[in-house]
Structure 1
Amino acid sequence: MKKVFLLFALFSIISCKNDAKKSSENEIEKEEIKTVQEENFPEELGKVFQTHGGINTWRKAQILSFNKGEEIHTTDLHSRKTVINSPTYSLGFDGKEVWLDEEKAGTYKGNPIFYYNLYFYFYAMPFVLADDGIIYEKSKAISFKGIEYPGFKISYKANIGNSSEDNYIIYYNPKTFQMEWLAYTVTFNSKEPSEKYNLIKYNKWENVNGLILPREITWFQKDEKGNPTEPARPATEFTLPLLSQGKLADSFFEKPAK
């Protein structure tokens, strides 16, 4: 619980800081324009990022935290160090290895290496699709309730992350450029490319310090053409979001000492 208190103390301090002076803001804006021009993602995907708060707002952020049920997920957005705290276990990635700390052996039933950043990726959409080492290509649209949602397939260059064979397809509203759906493959166990996609609908969004991030997502069933049909399970909710330009000490992401 000590790490949780440190996290909330950090955000309390940051929230009390004064806004930057206008001259500094103007200098930052000039730098941001250059940065945007240097990005290599497609123009349409750039519009999706802009609709969700802008890639520069994402680039300047340092720490992202959210709750999923009793779990508190905290990630350093630049190093991707991560900690998940719950009442009975903690797990995380300290920059070198994934660790697990349980109050009682056998409390955590999953695979920490697979799980530690799983919901971070779902929650940090669409911005994690601007990471380094990504290959973009247009994908066939999907249809739901009379609306056609254009898509972009995202794949990774070799040796990027634990599952470089994973693919994602982001689908967006053609009028608003808001992200609406995410299709993804899971290759963690097989390490082989797959054409079997899971499909998530992004139901609700909220503004978190300038970024539009998900508040609720739902896994959907699909028909033979890959179009969504009906929910496959109850919605997953995210609560208590925190986004900061401040940093946490490296020790925050380390396995607690016994």
Structure 2
Amino acid sequence: MKQMGKMRFAIAILLFVALGACRETPAPSVPEKEVVVTTTPTAVNSRFPEAFEKSLAAHGGLEQFKQFKSLEYTLENWPFSQKGPLTDLQRVDLKNRKVLIEGSGYRLGYNGDEVWVENPKALGTPAEFYYATPYYFSLVPFVFADPGTRFEDLGIAELGNQQYHSIRVTYESGTGDTPEDYYILYLDPESYTVRVMTYIVSFPAFRQGKAVSELEPHVIVYKDFQEVEGLKMPHEFEFYNWNEETEDLMEGARGGAVFSEMKLLKTAFPAMIFNKTE
């Protein structure tokens, strides 16, 4: 009996100690580093619609494009000049969009402050319009990733009995020289490369006093592309008028042109080349 009493006393002591330990020791907490947070991957740029992001990727990717500081190409047979088709060498600073164009009997450029031209009669078209237009067409779709652009996904559209994914691009007030311009991109619904683009020209010399709503769209058709430093860049293209009644391009090209010998460079051109020769 005494032995049993000692055992009961020992058990009681152990229970008392265990209960006391339970009261004094707080429950263990999960270390902060062990907390798992689930997030949804963000888009490349939240202001871009998904179809436009796919187009950037189809043309080689925006990050790949951003590696380059300079663009150079020969523009062949630009059809919109009173002197006939123009062929010239064009250089563009991709970071600040300075431009130098050298053709037969004319030179023009943009030095960041002003547009200048030497021998405008040989050019046969307003320098303020010409200096920026060809390179803008050459940089599609990357040029629409510039600050100040706005997008509206228009979904599937049909042109010339073919279906495209269409996106409208407009500009915030104060963006560029002609913020009232707009473009509609027509993307191949499978590859998402840019195949057709409609646009208006709100440049004052061509506007003839019309309101933006009265301006007739023009059409550029990208016939093929060229691989340049891992990017799919425009090569040959044609221009068409827009048929307002059928909302389609009119038959018969107004003319075509070619971006040849295109180069993308990771070095910048010397700033002095963009200045007018004294």
Instruction: Tell me the residue number matched to 1:109.
Output: 124
Kept in 1, the 8 Å contact 2:69–2:94? The answer is yes
What is the deviation of 1:126?
A: 1.0
Kept in 1, the 8 Å contact 2:65–2:142? The answer is yes
Matched residue of 1:37: which SS?
coil
Selected match of 2:192 from 174, 177, 200: 177
What is the deviation of 1:81?
A: 0.3
Aligned-residue Cα RMSD (Å) equals 2.0
Alpha-carbon distance in 2 for matches of 1:36, 1:256: 46
Instruction: Tell me the residue number matched to 1:118.
Output: 133
Matched residue of 2:198: which SS?
strand
TM-score by length of 2: 0.74
Instruction: Tell me the residue number matched to 1:188.
Output: 203
Instruction: Tell me the residue number matched to 2:102.
Output: 85
Instruction: Tell me the residue number matched to 1:14.
Output: none
Rg larger for: 2
Shift of the 137–109 alpha-carbon distance from structure 1 to 2, 3 Å rule, reads same
Alpha-carbon distance in 1 for matches of 2:51, 2:201: 26
Matched residue of 2:224: which SS?
strand
Instruction: Tell me the residue number matched to 2:168.
Output: 153
Kept in 1, the 8 Å contact 2:75–2:90? The answer is yes
Greater mean alpha carbon deviation, residues 221-230 or residues 153-162: 221-230
Kept in 2, the 8 Å contact 1:90–1:100? The answer is yes
Instruction: Tell me the residue number matched to 2:181.
Output: 166
Selected match of 1:68 from 52, 70, 75: 75
What is the deviation of 1:129?
A: 0.9
Selected match of 1:37 from 44, 47, 66: 44
Instruction: Tell me the residue number matched to 2:257.
Output: 236
Greater mean alpha carbon deviation, residues 60-69 or residues 183-192: 183-192
Alpha-carbon distance in 2 for matches of 1:123, 1:35: 29
Segments of structure 1 that go 5 or more residues without pairing to the other structure are 1-33
Selected match of 1:213 from 206, 209, 233: 233
Kept in 2, the 8 Å contact 1:206–1:215? The answer is yes
Shift of the 221–188 alpha-carbon distance from structure 1 to 2, 3 Å rule, reads closer
Alpha-carbon distance in 2 for matches of 1:72, 1:193: 32
Kept in 1, the 8 Å contact 2:199–2:218? The answer is yes
Q: Which amino acid aligns with 2:98?
A: K
Alpha-carbon distance in 2 for matches of 1:230, 1:86: 31
Correspondence 1:197 to 2:217: yes
Alpha-carbon distance in 2 for matches of 1:130, 1:173: 19
Kept in 1, the 8 Å contact 2:106–2:117? The answer is yes
Kept in 1, the 8 Å contact 2:217–2:242? The answer is no
- Give the number of equivalent residue pairs: 222
Alpha-carbon distance in 2 for matches of 1:101, 1:73: 15
Shift of the 254–215 alpha-carbon distance from structure 1 to 2, 3 Å rule, reads same
Kept in 1, the 8 Å contact 2:49–2:153? The answer is no
Segments of structure 2 that go 5 or more residues without pairing to the other structure are 1-40, 77-86
Alpha-carbon distance in 1 for matches of 2:223, 2:44: 31
Matched residue of 2:186: which SS?
strand
Matched residue of 1:106: which SS?
helix
Q: Equivalent pairs: percent with the same residue? A: 27
Instruction: Tell me the residue number matched to 2:11.
Output: none
TM-score by length of 1: 0.80
Alpha-carbon distance in 2 for matches of 1:113, 1:242: 24
What is the deviation of 1:84?
A: 0.5
Kept in 2, the 8 Å contact 1:222–1:230? The answer is no
